[in-house]
Amino acid sequence: MSGAAADATPFLPERLSMKALREAAAECRGCGLWEDATQVVFGAGPPRSARMVLVGEQPGDREDRAGEPFVGPAGRVLDRALSDAGIERRETYVTNAVKHFKWRPAGKRRLHQSPNAEEIRSCRPWLDAELAVVKPEVVVALGATAAKALFGPSFRVTRDRGKFVESELAAHATATMHPSSLLRIDDPEERRIAEGELAADLARAAGKLSEA
Ligand code: URA
Ligand code: SF4
């Protein structure tokens, strides 16, 4: 096929193991986002035992520096929601739809920029490979970017969050709001309600796990 658009596929390792994937992703040039980022932020969590995969949008400023997903302010919101839902984060595999931080300078700060459809598509082979290795029972998309990437462009988080959808990715698949969106709610009461909804969606997802 001539003129095929570039994506991450040529950078995938031959053998799909989490270690090989992580090492290979560090060298990915599947789109332009690696250039301005500090490092790749691959997924984190126990690949063999994790039964739930959580998929965010892309690393933020703190994640870019640390090389780990959801360790900044959004990560604290996620940690709290997981804990309220009775889920141990260290038993889940947490990753992002896009593995490099996209930003633009604003004075001394680096402002988050949403990845575009092309970047999300280019990065998709990594997410598919992670899911192929982890083989989760439940996949949860966090926010609109991940939900559209996983379930298609017609998925609306505001309308469809908390619903379970048919997906080849896992026996159970659902989406909820992005933890960062909660940080943007100024009204304390509204924020508390949203926190409760996020935790409830996560608890419902955990409820789909078979008895171990
Ligand atoms: N937001 C995301 O979507 N992912 C992270 O890892 C951090 C913030
Ligand atoms: Fe590769 Fe994804 Fe990084 Fe683009 S964002 S360079 S596709 S890892």
Mutate to test the pocket of ligand 1, among 42, 96, 150 (most ligand atoms within 8 A of CB): 96
**Which residues approach ligand 2 with their CB closer than 6 A?**
8, 25, 28-31, 33-34, 40, 98-100, 119, 122-123, 126
| % of the chain at pLDDT higher than 90 | 95
pLDDT at 5: 58
At 56 the three-state DSSP class reads strand
Residue 23: the pLDDT is 97
Distance CA 122, CA 112 (A): 19
- pLDDT bracket for residue 212 (50, 70, 90): low
Q: Which ligand is nearest to the CA of 123?
A: 2
User: Ligand 1 mean position to 17 CA, how many Å?
Assistant: 23
- If one residue of 70, 123, 184 were mutated to test the ligand 1 pocket, choosing by the most ligand atoms within 8 A of its CB, it would be 70
Percent of the chain predicted with pLDDT > 70: 97
Tell me if 56 CB under 6 Å of ligand 1: yes
Cα separation, 48 vs 58, whole angstroms? 23
Mean pLDDT for 106-111 is 94
Which tens digit of pLDDT belongs to each residue from 169-202?
999 999 999 999 999 999 999 999 999 999 999 9
Side-chain-side CA neighbours of residue 99 (13 Å): 30
46: three-class secondary structure by DSSP? coil
> Residue range 53-80: average pLDDT?
98
Query: Which numbered atom of ligand 1 lies nearest the CA of 72?
Result: 7
Lowest mean pLDDT segment, chosen from 2-6, 64-68, 77-81, 101-105? 2-6
Output Rg (C-alpha) for the chain, integer angstroms.
16
Its pTM stands at: 0.96
